[in-house]
Amino acid sequence: MPSDALSIARDLVRCPSVTPADAGALNVLETLLKGAGFDVHRITFSEPGAADIDNLYSRIGTTGPHIAFAGHTDVVPPGDEGAWTRGAFSGDVVDGFLYGRGTVDMKGGIACSVAAALDYLAEHGGQPGKDGDGSISFLITGDEEDIAVNGTVKLMQWAAARGEKFDHCVLGEPSNIEELGDCIKIGRRGSQSGTLYVDGVQGHVAYPHRASNPIPDIAALITALVSDPLDRGSAQFQPSNLEFTSVDVGNPAANVIPGQARAKFNIRFNDHHSQESLRTLIEARVAEISGNRIATRIVWEPSNADVFLTEPGPFTDLLVAAIEEVTGRKPELSTGGGTSDARFIKDYCPVIEFGLVGQTMHQIDERTPVADLERLTRIYRGVLDRYFA
Which CATH number characterizes residue 354's domain?
A: 3.40.630.10
Confidence class of residue 292 from pLDDT cuts 50, 70 and 90? confident
CB half-sphere exposure, 81, CA atoms < 13 A: 10
Give the pLDDT score at 130: 72
Rounded Cα gap, residues 97 and 271, in angstroms: 39
Domain boundary among the residues 300, 328, 352 is at: 300
Query: Which of these is catalytic: 11, 144, 341, 353?
Result: 144
Pick from 110, 122, 151, 137: which is nearest to 10 by CA? 110
- 31-37 average pLDDT score: 97
69/172 same-domain check: yes
- What's the N-to-C CA distance of the chain in angstroms? 29
176/234 same-domain check: no
pLDDT tens across 317-344, in order?
999 999 999 999 999 999 988 889 999 9
Q: Quick check: 147 pLDDT over 90?
A: no
Contact by Cβ (8 Å): 234, 156: no
Q: Quick check: 376 pLDDT over 70?
A: yes
DSSP 8-state secondary structure symbol assigned to residue 75: B
Please report, for residues 276, 317, 323, 371, the alpha-carbon distance to residue 378 in angstroms, rounded to integers and kept in the order given: 42, 17, 9, 11
Q: What CATH number should be reported for the domain holding residue 272? A: 3.30.70.360
233/320 same-domain check: no
Domain boundary among the residues 300, 322, 345 is at: 300
Check if 74 is active-site. Answer: yes
75/92 same-domain check: yes
| Residue 75 dihedral angles phi and psi, to the nearest 5° | -135, 165
Total count of domains within the chain: 2
- 169-174 average pLDDT score: 97
- Average pLDDT of every residue of the chain: 95
228/292 same-domain check: yes
Q: Quick check: 1 pLDDT over 70?
A: no
* CA geometry: angle 64, 341, 229, nearest 5 deg: 125
Residue 109's Cβ-count burial label (10 Å; 0-12, 13-18, 19+) is buried
Pick from 29, 86, 91: which is nearest to 56 by CA? 29
Non-local (6+) Cβ contacts of 236 within 8 A are: 186, 187, 271, 309, 333, 335
Give the pLDDT score at 197: 98
Contact by Cβ (8 Å): 281, 230: yes
Rounded Cα gap, residues 161 and 105, in angstroms: 29
Query: Where would I find the H helices in 211-257?
Result: 214-227
Query: Which of these is catalytic: 22, 54, 74, 173?
Result: 74
Paired sense of beta strands 50-60 and 135-141, if any: antiparallel
Q: Quick check: 170 pLDDT over 60?
A: yes
* CA geometry: angle 111, 42, 52, nearest 5 deg: 100
Give the pLDDT score at 337: 85
**Strand ranges in the chain using DSSP code E only, listed in sequence order:** 39-47, 50-60, 66-72, 93-94, 97-99, 135-141, 168-171, 183-185, 187-188, 190-199, 203-204, 241-248, 256-257, 260-269, 295-300, 308-309, 332-334, 351-353, 367-369
pTM above 0.95, yes or no: no
Confidence class of residue 2 from pLDDT cuts 50, 70 and 90? low
- 118-142 average pLDDT score: 91
Domain boundary among the residues 300, 319, 341 is at: 300
Rounded Cα gap, residues 133 and 329, in angstroms: 31
Contact by Cβ (8 Å): 200, 212: yes
Non-local (6+) Cβ contacts of 68 within 8 A are: 136, 137, 138, 139, 166, 168, 169, 170, 345, 349
370/344 same-domain check: yes
Give the pLDDT score at 132: 75
Non-local (6+) Cβ contacts of 370 within 8 A are: 6, 93, 96, 97, 98
Check if 366 is active-site. Answer: no
Give the pLDDT score at 338: 83
Rounded Cα gap, residues 250 and 269, in angstroms: 30
List the domain range (segments joined by +) for residue 295. 190-300
Count of C-beta atoms within a 10 Å radius of residue 231: 16
259/317 same-domain check: no
134/265 same-domain check: no
24/139 same-domain check: yes
Contact by Cβ (8 Å): 25, 86: no
% of the chain exceeding 70 in pLDDT: 99
Confidence class of residue 286 from pLDDT cuts 50, 70 and 90? very high
27/172 same-domain check: yes
176/49 same-domain check: yes
278/144 same-domain check: no
Paired sense of beta strands 241-248 and 260-269, if any: antiparallel
CA 123 to chain CA mean position, Å: 32
> Count of residues for the chain?
389
- 6-35 average pLDDT score: 97
% of the chain exceeding 90 in pLDDT: 92
Q: Quick check: 131 pLDDT over 90?
A: no
